[in-house]
Structure 1
Amino acid sequence: MPSLSPLSIPSPPLEFSQFQIGPLTIHIYALFILAGIVAAMLMVNHRLTKRGGEPGVVIDIVLWAVPLGIVGARIYHVLTHGSDYFYEGADLWRVVQIWDGGNALYGSLIGGAVGAAIGCRFAGIRLWSFADTLAPAMLVAQAIGRLGNWFNHELFGLPTTLPWGLEIESTNGAFPVGLPEGTLFHPLFAYEIIWNLVGVVLLLALERRFRLRWGKLFALYLVWYGLGRAWLESIRIDPSSDGFLGVPANVWASFAAVLLGIILFVVQTRRHPGLETSVYRAGRGPRPVVNKKKKGADDEVSTGLESVDESAASGEGSGERWTDDELKAASGTSAPLR
């Protein structure tokens, strides 16, 4: 396919989008999604542990969040592509054939949120604490996952004469009729990768500067991602979703994410002006670790577990050291701290 610019982005051959291992068909897109999930898990585990969470507790939450996220992604996709699944003579089994492709990120957020709430309940972790540690990790996962769209020849926008335009074969079903072969398109997947990575840096900087807790960092994630996705979806031309009032469903979902993020930030700022004292729910804490110390001929057994609130307030295990003023705000008392 001729290129209009030496800097244009070529699309990988479609045969590279999947490969066989015995009877199994492995999709490159799925591998990038899996890599994103693993990267997010590692990042959340590190961040949650720094705040006093038990190492590995994120696994207890992910075991609920990921499966329900997949279910939510599929349901959202089917509902926003109803014309592809519900018509006279349609094979309704296609609705559950997730291996044929068709998942939506906003659906995964909804389903994953339900799963995370359940997982946090069992693990004893505050949902908002988990959400805040997840916020930048989600953007990392989404950036990695978008590379799968490149292999699938999807998520591209309007034609462009910019030197970094994306090459799409004219035989692609989404290639606009009437355009000449060699037309370049906006590489929306690359734009979103850049947007997400910039968002990671921004969220981490804001968190460090303002100590954003109680779901406030997650609220900013919703605003940031929603704004970027609304713009990208508005110039997207490959099939993405059915529309309402001439506006694609994903654009409506992006507006909803921005609005929800703003409301969440305002509400949580008013309800929780102070700092978190612990990532654990009231009455819950990390499992005790038994340490044995020799004392003469006898063994002295110590659990090594302090009060969760005390250790969190002192900054132990969180990698943070709070000032007296910050601790006063967190505890709601004006008494001097010694």
Structure 2
Amino acid sequence: MESNIQPLDKVFFELGPLSIKWYGVLIGIGVLLGLWLAIREGKRRGVHEETFMDIVLIAVPSAILGARIYYVLFEFDYYSKHLNEIPQIWNGGLAIHGGLIGAFIASYIFSKKKGISFWKLADIAAPSILVGQMLGRWGNFMNQEAHGGEVTRSFLEGLHLPTWIINQMYIDGAYYHPTFLYESMWSLLGIILLLSLRKVNLRRGEMFLTYLIWYSVGRYFIEGLRTDSLMLTDTIRMAQFISVLIIVFAIIVLVYRRVKGLSNDRYLDA
């Protein structure tokens, strides 16, 4: 049976020499859905829709650049010998943590120049970021990358997954943990959580900090299942190390802002 399994086509469509891959399409859909969600909520919170459109034009390229630089740096032994492959992001190789750093820096600079509260914008955009991450993982699925260790077909069937997902996890003669799916579902739960917290009227900045903690907790445990992790040392996975740092950072910032009275404004304040 396994010998007859064919992977899903990575190409969305071809037009002459132009080839559009599912990886880029899914990331693009995630960006558009996230933008729509942020604009919709921004109108309720008194933020003009053009603000988020401007942020996307700045933050998305910065995120892609940051994600690629981050990945290439930790795989430099390979890319130093294949320099022509560095720009080929359509083949995968984007590290989410690098993307977050790039988007964070770009958005912070934008908010300062526009005189708008960074924390207010970040709170509104937090669910949108998870939407992008959730759909982006399906791009990894189409590329058959970012998977976990080897498992049996019966294990995957026990998860009650559709056949097309199980078959796509058959790579080079073996089945693998669908860690892309685990993280995608974790992101979906995070979206539901953050949308629910909008009614709680958290202090300003705490919606975004909750997102950082939520994503990092899930990423820490899911990363432990993966076989393609970027490594900090022979035994420490970079993504797990960064996830712990982010959790600690978010908690410290949350407490600091409360103690210093920097988060007295609330999410639902006019």
Give TM-score scaled by structure 2 length.
0.86
Alignment of 1:185-264 (within 5 A): 185-209=176-200, 211-237=201-227, 239-264=228-253
2:53 corresponds in structure 1 to: 59
Compute the displacement of 1:123 (Å). Answer: 3.3
* Percent of pairs with identical residues: 34
Compute the displacement of 1:18 (Å). Answer: 4.6
1:131 corresponds in structure 2 to: 122
8 A Cα contact 2:70 2:98, kept in partner: yes
**Unaligned stretches of 5+ residues in structure 1:** 4-10, 172-180, 278-311, 316-338
- Tell me the amino acid that sits aligned with residue 50 of structure 1: R
Within 2, Cα distance between the matches of 1:34 and 1:248?
Answer: 28
RMSD: 2.5
Within 2, Cα distance between the matches of 1:169 and 1:200?
Answer: 30
Q: Secondary structure at the match of 2:226?
A: coil
Decide which of 13, 17, 23 is 2:17's aligned counterpart. Answer: 23
Compute the displacement of 1:14 (Å). Answer: 4.2
Any idea what the Cα deviations from partners look like across 1:155-204, whole Å, max 9, x if unmatched?
A: 22233453137443352xxxxxxxxx4x5432111111111111111122
1:115 corresponds in structure 2 to: 106
Q: Secondary structure at the match of 2:19?
A: strand
Task: Name the one with the larger helix percent.
Answer: 2
Q: Secondary structure at the match of 1:25?
A: strand
Matched residue count: 259
Within 1, Cα distance between the matches of 2:149 and 2:89?
Answer: 28
Decide which of 126, 131, 146 is 1:155's aligned counterpart. Answer: 146
Compute the displacement of 1:31 (Å). Answer: 0.5
Alignment of 1:74-93 (within 5 A): 74-86=68-80, 90-93=81-84
Q: Secondary structure at the match of 2:49?
A: coil
- Tell me the amino acid that sits aligned with residue 269 of structure 1: R
8 A Cα contact 1:33 1:141, kept in partner: yes
Within 2, Cα distance between the matches of 1:128 and 1:187?
Answer: 34
8 A Cα contact 2:144 2:171, kept in partner: no
Within 2, Cα distance between the matches of 1:41 and 1:121?
Answer: 20
Structure of larger gyration radius: 1
Compute the displacement of 1:273 (Å). Answer: 4.5
Give TM-score scaled by structure 1 length.
0.70
Any idea what the Cα deviations from partners look like across 1:112-141, whole Å, max 9, x if unmatched?
A: 111112222343321111111111111111
Q: Secondary structure at the match of 1:155?
A: coil
Within 1, Cα distance between the matches of 2:87 and 2:146?
Answer: 23
Within 1, Cα distance between the matches of 2:36 and 2:105?
Answer: 21
